[in-house]
């Protein structure tokens, strides 16, 4: 099974958008990239919130 995001690396992790599925669909590299973009969104949200509150 090849990673469904990059189609290059071997999939070693399940898609976290599909918690019911245990099929491995994502490589660790893409998984980390996702986490990074998640973090960016969270940080942005926090900045927005703190601007509103102040
Ligand atoms: Zn990948």
Domain ranges for the chain: 13-53
Distance 6 CA to ligand 1 centre (A): 4
Q: What is the pLDDT of residues 6-31, one digit of tens each?
A: 999 999 999 888 889 889 999 999 99
Q: How confident is residue 5, by pLDDT bands cut at 50, 70 and 90? A: very high
Check residue 2 and give its pLDDT.
97
pLDDT for residue 54 is more than 80 = no
Asked if 27 and 3 touch (Cβ cutoff 8 Å), the reply is yes
Mean pLDDT across the chain: 93
Distance 40 CA to ligand 1 centre (A): 19
Check residue 17 and give its pLDDT.
83
Identify the bridge partners of residue 2 per DSSP, sorted by sequence position.
Answer: 10
Distance 24 CA to ligand 1 centre (A): 11
Distance 28 CA to ligand 1 centre (A): 7
Distance 11 CA to ligand 1 centre (A): 7
Task: Report the C-alpha gap between 24 and 2 in whole angstroms.
Answer: 9
């Amino acid at each position: 099974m090849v990673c469904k995001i990059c189609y290059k690396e071997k999939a070693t992790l399940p898609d976290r958008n599909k918690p019911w599925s245990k099929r491995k669909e994502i490589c660790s590299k893409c998984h980390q990239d996702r986490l990074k973009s998640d973090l960016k969104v969270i940080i942005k949200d926090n900045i927005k919130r703190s601007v509103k509150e102040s």
